[in-house]
Amino acid sequence: MSGKITWGILGTSFISEVMAKAIHASTSSELLAVGSRSLSSAKHFAEQHQISKAYGNFQSLLDDPAIDAIYIGLPNHVHKEWIIRCALAGKHILCEKPFVLNAAEAHEVLGVLEETRVFCMEALMYRCHPFSKKLQELVQSKILGDIRLYNAVYTAPIAHLANPVAGGSIRNLGCYPVSLIRLLAGAEPVEIIGTGRWNKDNQTDSQASVILKFADHSIATVSTADDFAMVWQFDIWGSEGHLKVISNPWLPDAENKCIIQRYDEKEPVEIRVSGEKPLYTYQIDTVNHCILKSDMREQEAISLSDSLGNSIVLESWLNQI
């Protein structure tokens, strides 16, 4: 394979537009094609984003031998189908979060990926940014001591994107803090206690909270909602200090900041992490590197076992509402 990965995009949604710009901004990528359910939609998207090929159905994109990798920007409830179809077509895959709807779907997908040996990653873009890596380093450094509590809040006015099949706030927003807490804890929760409120108009979870208990005795609380303003909050309390993230940890950008207050010191320490390129381009470059350097896949990517773990937590949480 050459030094550049050729990309195709499935779907013409808003997030597909974001990803088209990210692929163009990546020096290791070339965006060749887009597929939509209608040719007119595909052509319009292609014209807007300087894409040479437009397909009026998804399968034609998968059949294009010039495409190395495909970004799946489709609704949540069809992720499983198109991950499998991309894999069987021999295409590497970046699939928009959430990976799939539940653990059963995840196991089915993982079985196909094991057989086809293509690369596949869930698009939790913040995980590819240096700020997430810095948070992980800080927790592992023990500057906070032993972790006792995590607290996360993530809300956004995106109820119009929810539907009874694809899900609401838990899958569309709660997936982010759950994945970050699992990353920092380095383990899966041993107990999941969830609650929430249903939106009667669209029959989805519009507000929800969950408590995650870990074997090391740390406890995490996560709250999410899709029916009011964009709000983010993330705090970690340890036996020796408190870390507060000031910028949005799930949408890191050029300048990101957290503050650490050790209990034995008067003054807090401010830590800044700069991003050298757009957030979503970090994600594309991560996928490209993992495709080109297959021995680095587990070190640099969100692993499939990680996505399975997140699916299990989200499913359990949703089932308790």
Rounded Cα distance, 167 and 183, in Å: 23
- H-type alpha helices, 26-88: 39-48, 58-62, 79-88
* Residue 155 parent element (H or E): strand 147-155
What 8-state DSSP symbol labels residue 163? B
Exposed e or buried b for every residue in 8-17, given b needs 16+ CB within 10 A? bbbbbbebbb
- Residue among 313, 310, 321, 308 nearest 192 (CA): 313
The phi, psi pair for 201, rounded to 5°, reads -75, -45
CA distance 31 to 165: 31
Delimit the domains of the chain by residue range: 5-124, 130-274
Secondary structure of residue 198 in the 3-state scheme: strand
| pTM score, whole prediction | 0.96
Alpha-carbon gap, residue 261 to 256, rounded angstroms: 17
Q: Which amino acid, one-letter code, is at 248? A: N
5-124 CATH? 3.40.50.720
Whether the CB-CB separation of 155 and 230 falls below 8 Å is answered with: yes
Taking the C-alpha atoms of residue 86 and residue 62, their distance in angstroms, rounded to an integer, is 6
pLDDT at 296: 58
Question: Is 95 in contact with 72 (CB distance < 8 Å)?
Answer: yes
Residue 254: per-residue pLDDT:
87
Q: Which residues pair with 301 in a beta bridge?
A: none
Q: What pLDDT was estimated at residue 293?
A: 85
Query: Which overall architecture, per CATH, does domain 130-274 show?
Result: 2-Layer Sandwich (3.30)
Do the domains spanning 5-124 and 130-274 agree at the CATH topology level?
no
Tens-digit pLDDT profile for the chain (321 aa)? 568 999 999 999 999 999 999 999 999 999 999 999 999 999 999 999 999 999 999 999 999 999 999 999 999 999 999 999 999 999 999 999 999 999 999 999 999 999 999 999 999 999 999 999 999 999 999 999 999 999 999 999 999 989 899 999 999 999 999 999 999 999 999 999 999 999 988 899 999 999 999 999 999 999 999 999 999 999 999 999 999 999 999 999 989 999 999 999 999 999 999 999 999 999 999 999 999 987 656 666 799 999 999 999 999 999 999
Return the pLDDT at 295.
64
